[in-house]
Amino acid sequence: MTQKEKAQVVLRLDGITKRFGPVTANEDVSFALHRGEVIALLGENGAGKTTLMNILFGQYTADEGSVELFGQPLPAGDPRAALDAGVGMVHQHFTLAGNLTVWENIVLGVDALSTASLKPAAAKARIRALSERFHLKVDPGAKVGRLTVGERQRVEILKALYRDAKILILDEPTAVLTPQEADALFATLREAIASGLSVIFISHKLHEVMAISDRVLVLRHGRLVAERATTDTHGEELAALMVGAEVSAPSIAPANPGAPLLTLRDVTTPGAGSAPGLARVSLDLRAGQITGLAGVSGNGQAALSDLISGLIAPASGSMELHGASPKGWSPRAAIANGVARIPEDRHKTGTIADFDLTENAILETYATRFSSRGWLDWSGARAFAQKLIAGYDIRCPGPDIRIRLLSGGNMQKLILGRVLEGAPDIILANQPVRGLDIGAVNYVHEQLAKARDRGAAVLLISEDLDEIMRLSDVIHVISEGRLSPEFARGTMRPEDLGRWMAGEGFEKGHTDAA
């Protein structure tokens, strides 16, 4: 590609400012995106990345400033205009209709579903071709409601590609892909870039930013604080720019494993939707050890998490906590048995958005710690909330703030505080850092490591292999409900785990036997 083509500006943001009441989400942000260029947008949660992209995509209207696409001013507040101009956005929170099929979701908004001119076969064929080319494996005929998180994200990416997007905005696109899938996506993205696509890439994963981007823009508190050519910078500098200070990942000391606190033997559970249940899973969670569970989203992690959370019981096989089978397995029984549960979805499962911080803090313990004869002890509850705010560095105006107004990181700190305050000895952490900024990620990891060091058994479920490999003392891989053997820290390379994640290595007929 010639220098001239490269220099063509496809998108220009000029002096964008956006306020929500007293909060300034974006302040005077200006940058230009060139043809065939990949810009990485870095920033902590709440730094204003998503707001900026929503303005660009027409979902919000900027208070000041303008957006220009291919030299034309973009009419504010009109997603249609952005779409028609060739902007495709893959949101972090998916925008799919669960009751429609994959191909229907993809053509929705491009063609009217009910017109005679719509040719399902042609649309499906095109989707198949795209999904093959971009290694985005998904069945066009499947109902989206039955897809896993990972598959839904693939549909989102396909949706943008199907519309011949000239500018692709990807908000945390690789969070649910295996390393191999992510590599494949990067490879094909590069291909598409070479043929003229421009990409804005939002990610917290610094190595991805380094691998794929040409330029990095760092947002902090809504302002553009730095702009670097990717070749001129390195991960540590970017991390420091993001949080405004040098950060260091927690160093994990060797484990000192003890007796198993939670034991599963040949446990089978029914599946939910298209997500498989567990197929004769045996697992030991040992005291003083972090057990990492790697795997592609939708391979039985949810079933294992629900089982340990107390939401479901084994259909067959046995479960023992502290060497005894629990009677009457339920969330309350789990909490009573010292199981701390950090759920996968902190918005839907972990907190009640319109409850205030105090009410959320006591969600698990209101009946046992903060009530007497049916009356709630609000002063005790508030004191507890204050203690969590101080002890877990929850940044908020006070215990009366509604939870929906907190950032993801602070919400997660509240959940951490809530479950760790009782010094639990079994900890289930399901995707504990998904969508968090580096500062919050390190904080959560430190807390988990600290709990391990005082003798807790930690199960870390994550689709982020880096996280698993950095934190875990032993690693299992889950695939289609089957559990791999236990691998000790340092004995496996990412590619080896990736093969297990893809379903290789498991005994033949293992699932059939279940």
**Where on the chain is the footprint of other proteins (CB under 8 A)?**
20-21, 60-61, 75-78, 309-311, 330-332, 334-335, 341, 343, 348-355, 359, 363-364, 366-367, 371, 374-376, 378, 402, 404-405
Shortest Cβ distance from residue 414 to other proteins (Å)?
13
- The pair of three-digit structure tokens given for residue 38, joined into one six-digit string: 């990949």
Nearer to other proteins, 313 or 405 (CB): 405
Min dist CB 173 to other proteins, Å, is: 25
Kindly state the smallest distance separating residue 344's Cβ from other proteins, in Å. 10
211 class by beta-carbon count within 10 Å (0-12 exposed, 13-18 middle, 19+ buried): middle
Tokens of 186: 């990067």
Min dist CB 302 to other proteins, Å, is: 13
Nearer to other proteins, 80 or 234 (CB): 80
14: which strand partners? 66
Q: By C-beta, is 95 or 378 nearer to other proteins?
A: 378
Amino acid 26 reads N
Q: What are the helix (H) ranges across 32-170?
A: 49-56, 79-84, 102-107, 120-133, 149-162
61 vs 99, beta carbon nearer other proteins: 61
Three-state secondary-structure class, residue 504: coil
H or E, element range at 10: strand 9-20
Nearest to other proteins of 352, 449 (CB atom): 352
Output the smallest distance, CB 306 to other proteins, in A: 9
- Closest to other proteins by CB, 254 vs 374, is 374
> Residue 368 and residue 191: Cα distance in Å, rounded?
58
Q: Which is nearer to other proteins, 103 or 329 (CB)?
A: 329
- CA dist 454 → 364, 423, 443, 450 (Å): 22, 9, 17, 6
Q: What is the nearest approach in angstroms of other proteins to the Cβ of residue 405?
A: 6
CB 49 within 8 A of CB 41: yes
All residues at 6 or more sequence positions from 45 whose CB lies less than 8 Å from its CB, including other chains? 407, 408, 409, 435, 436, 437, 440
Could you list the beta-strand ranges (E) of 61-117: 64-69, 72-73, 87-90
* H/E segment holding residue 277: none
Residues facing residue 50 across a β-bridge: none
**In whole angstroms, how close is the CB of 340 to other proteins at the nearest point?**
12
